[in-house]
Amino acid sequence: MYGSDKVSDDSERTAFRRAEKKYKLYYDPASKKKKQPKKVDLSEVLDFKSILESYNENSELPNGFNVLRCDSGRPVFSMENRPGFYFIPGALNIQEQCEWIKESLTSFPQPPNRTNHNAFYGPINDLFLAATEKKILVEEGNSPASLNSGCNVSPGDGDVQRWKFFKEDVVSSRGNTRKSISASVLLRKLRWSTLGLQFDWSKRNYNVSLPHNKIPTALGELAKRMAAPAMPLGEGFKPEAAIVNYFGLGTFWEKIFSL
């Protein structure tokens, strides 16, 4: 029925979709006891770490690669056949990575920033804290009036406030049978959050009328530093919006980033 709309050949796919299909995590159906991932040919995968190590050891680079330096002192690499593409191996040390991971879980999903949960649950305050405290998100219109919440869904950006967090034992003791979901599940299902100017996914553009905070100062300075090699001489990068993506175990990008 929809045969004409189907992608029947790899030549009809975008380069991104072809790569996604090639490196997607597949499991071997022949494995009966425990699911075993199929082996994937990684010979064409770009190994940023090995390129950096080779350059640091003997200043050698694979054919087609160039190096330049920015103010941070870290080498920045480019590819001759991919103009405009730059990569900075080891751009963040382990401590910096941990700090930004923490911010991504505790600060970046906070309203007025929007997440993939907004469409159904509205803006949610302190999701990470609620997950650590094992709280339950209950539909507010159907939740017992006597329940006390220490962590609420926040109104104010056009979303309807219909849900509230309650302690797990309180919800259980009241025998609540209404719609609910644990904060830990919501945290695992967090896929993206937006910073700065908010992106309207239904209209595929930025909605300047939505409440928003400016990009955090520290993150803005980091973005400026990382973008400097790609900027025209004399111009500085001005970060106004960003999206934070969260990748669960077993996803395509989690696999790629772990290579």
Name the pLDDT band for 179 (thresholds 50, 70, 90).
confident
**Poorest-confidence range of 25-29, 112-116, 221-225?**
25-29
H or E, element range at 176: none
Domain ranges of the chain: 27-90
pTM score, whole prediction: 0.73
202-232: pLDDT as tens digits? 678 888 888 999 999 999 999 998 888 888 8
The pLDDT value given to residue 84? 84
The pLDDT value given to residue 24? 81
Tokens of 15: 């380069």
Find out whether 31 and 23 touch, Cβ atoms under 8 Å: no
The pLDDT value given to residue 70? 61
DSSP 119-171: HHH--BS-HHHHHHTTEEEEEGGGS-TT---SEEB---SS----EEEEEHHHH
**Whether the predicted pLDDT of 17 surpasses 50:** yes
Name the pLDDT band for 133 (thresholds 50, 70, 90).
very high
